[in-house]
Amino acid sequence: MYLTTIEFECFADTTISQAEKAINQVLDCWRYNGQIIGREFPVVIKDATFSTRVVCPEENSLLESHQSAQVKRAKQALSDVGLLSPKIKSLGRDINSDDSDLCESPSWQVLYTNYLQSCSPLRCGDHFTPIPLYHLPAVANGDHKQLVKWQEDWSACDQLQMNGSILEHGALMEMSSTKSHLFKRGSNLCKRLEYLTKTPTYLYLYRVGGESLSTEKARACPSCGGQWKLDEVEHDIFDFKCDSCRLVSNISWDFKR
């Protein structure tokens, strides 16, 4: 991914509150379209110019050709509060983040995230690299807000169960049960993505606990009851894959080697 600076210059009198609202709207729309990554974007003002730094999936993520209708409206609204269109400058590749997927047509893709990741929640199944969301048809209402919100909820559950101090069991159930609300939302998003992209789209089902390594290896698909154990682990994570139910999972992390 790439670190990028964005500047919003004033061309008329405005107030900090008006400018703040307009700038944050642009940032939110970029985020829900997958053009910038993260949740917090500090904005500073100096010499009638507001500036911020963001992380983008690609060097050209903020090109107009990638923007959604929401982004267009938000950028047009900047002039209403005396701000020019944003000036964008890529500072270079962020060496501490994932590289975006370069595969033009993956054979499959997977909806996967965790509390440590800050990238697209949709990954190429062949290379396990994150796919920039703006390269995909909009999931709903013109952008990918539903995918971003699902990712936020999954990451929050993962953080709670890793901390192990409050709401651990409820959070774990949301990530690991096919009956949970989080699973159903993710499954519906995968079906929508598969319909739009014509690419088989799988959902990751978290697994921890269990009785033993042998019983874990013998687990059937929790959705259809079929055999889904892979001969070889994929991407050092997925030990199970059900092509019928579009599910992938792991041997319990308690026993995984």
How many other CB atoms sit within 10 Å of the CB of residue 215?
11
Q: What is the pLDDT of residue 13?
A: 87
CB proximity list for 17: less than 8 A, separation 6 or greater = none
Copy the structure tokens of residue 109.
């893709």
Edge-first strand listing for the sheet containing 201-205: 122-124, 109-111, 201-205, 247-249, 238-242, 229-234
Give residue 19's Cα distance to chain centre.
28
- The CATH code of the domain at 2-93 is 3.30.70.100
Compute the distance between CA of residue 33 and CA of residue 26 in angstroms, rounded to an integer. Answer: 11
Compute the distance between CA of residue 170 and CA of residue 166 in angstroms, rounded to an integer. Answer: 9
Residue 103 per-residue DSSP state:
-
- Closest to 20 in 3D by CA, of 78, 65, 72: 78
The pTM of the full predicted model, rounded to 2 decimals, is 0.94
Domain with CATH 3.30.70.100 in the chain: 2-93
CB 33 within 8 A of CB 26: no
Compute the distance between CA of residue 103 and CA of residue 126 in angstroms, rounded to an integer. Answer: 8
Compute the distance between CA of residue 96 and CA of residue 212 in angstroms, rounded to an integer. Answer: 36
Compute the distance between CA of residue 152 and CA of residue 150 in angstroms, rounded to an integer. Answer: 5
Q: What is the pLDDT of residue 257?
A: 67
CB < 8 Å & 24+ apart, contacts of 95-103: 97/1, 97/37, 97/55, 98/1, 98/129, 98/130, 99/1, 99/129, 100/1, 100/57, 100/58, 100/129, 100/130, 100/131, 100/132, 101/127, 101/129, 101/130, 101/131, 101/132, 102/127, 102/129, 103/127, 103/129
CB 109 within 8 A of CB 87: no
Tally of residues, the chain? 257
CB 3 within 8 A of CB 53: yes
Rg of the chain, C-alpha, whole Å? 21
Query: How would you write the pLDDT of the chain (257 residues) with one tens digit per residue?
Result: 999 999 999 999 889 999 999 999 999 999 999 999 998 999 999 999 999 999 999 999 999 999 999 999 999 999 999 999 999 999 999 988 888 998 889 999 999 999 998 899 999 999 999 999 999 999 999 999 999 999 999 999 999 999 999 999 999 999 999 999 999 999 999 999 999 999 999 999 999 999 999 999 999 999 999 999 999 999 999 999 999 999 999 999 999 86
CB 20 within 8 A of CB 78: no
